Structure 1
């Protein structure tokens, strides 16, 4: 009995809570973070000679595309460490430490030399002044400006560009099903972007989910029709709105609205007819609600300034 009690006392002396650190940090603890070794750096990053003077003459253009995250300097030569992975990078520094000059500019130069498309924010206009000319003259880039403060000073754009592009390819070669499929895909993407412009999914609208889903399909249908049948100068988002507006006019045929009459003119296998199926097969009042939902979502794109960038 005394041996058992003595054993318990001995164990309790060694196995207590006294060995647990009193604080989670700052009491002698340390993690496993460390700097990468030279071998790991060689294996992780592409080592590319950084030669912008030659690149601007079209010589020794780099093949590796990625983000310049560091460099090595040997004599007068500089080797860029390029991460070719699909990564994000956050640069943090106080004003004047060289975030733009020593990190952003080298990455823009490398992106131009390696042929990457990219978008940059430029609140002060420095990037445009310092690098737009270089990208255009030395690398053949097409520079577009999106000025949200003064949209009328932006370069023109078209939200239906991809739909129009692949629809043109399909119409030029009627057997190119891949181009037709891409046109339909981008029509659906554009319609979803417009209907769910607030970031919510149609299913989150509760009892009204049907109207948003049907409006999305109807909008994709009209976008396809605009891309396929309208002349090039009319294939933009305003034409989509105008067509929807015209289709809400009174119909000369009883119990048939103008949209249904328009769809009747299409072949049975036409995808525009399929996309609008939910709206076409609904009651007259529900159909009107679907059209109204689509038009209400298009209102955000209908002013003279927004038309310049969409």
Structure 2
């Protein structure tokens, strides 16, 4: 199997490079080969590589910045996935694409399923939803995997921000009224590989038989404050600087982009379809923290 992997240096893409090596020949590409804001680079690369599968974790992920760059965010998150799907269809490839909990408005009090109606409240969420819809409309074999609160030891994410701030500040204030499931980038990559390991020789036929949207997050739930508290549990006891971690409300921490108050995703469909167990977010975090010691 020939796998074209976009966003290969991102936090999910980097992990995918490792997990997909056991599945097939991975051809990792970064912005130099495929600039998602330039559709001709997408078409040219896919035409040249002729992959069996395209795995697309690349995205515009600066949630607040997207509010002031809506055209660029839409080009990368909304329009490019459609172009990838069209090019994939021309060469007979299937697609695995990643999306977000931010396609929902957060008004529910129970975990969102794939049947719940999206209603994004910020530009990032709107552009990611547009990307999902573009892929579906092309009719290419696809798996769209929605995830949430992605973190790891690479790139820019909440985990690394908290670890840095703990060394710089005596006090950190963190929002405590937004609920979700922190999901390790490596877990996303491992689950993706486990799905593909079930494929017979023809990956396109396999994905065509399972095509659709799936939720892929760690199990359990917490708030950003709860996540921060777990990240800094050891650091609070023996920090060089941090003394106080303080829970606050969303209005006390205004941001350019509105965030859903509740964005927990129900991953039962993925678990039942592929027979996979999604680990608890706290256990995953323990593994990440142990790697960082």
TM-score w.r.t. the length of structure 1 is: 0.29
- Which structure dedicates a bigger proportion of its chain to strand? 2
Q: Specify which structure has the bigger relative contact order, considering alpha-carbon pairs within 8 angstroms and separated by 6 or more residues.
A: 2
- Which structure dedicates a bigger proportion of its chain to helix? 1
Which structure has the larger Rg? 1
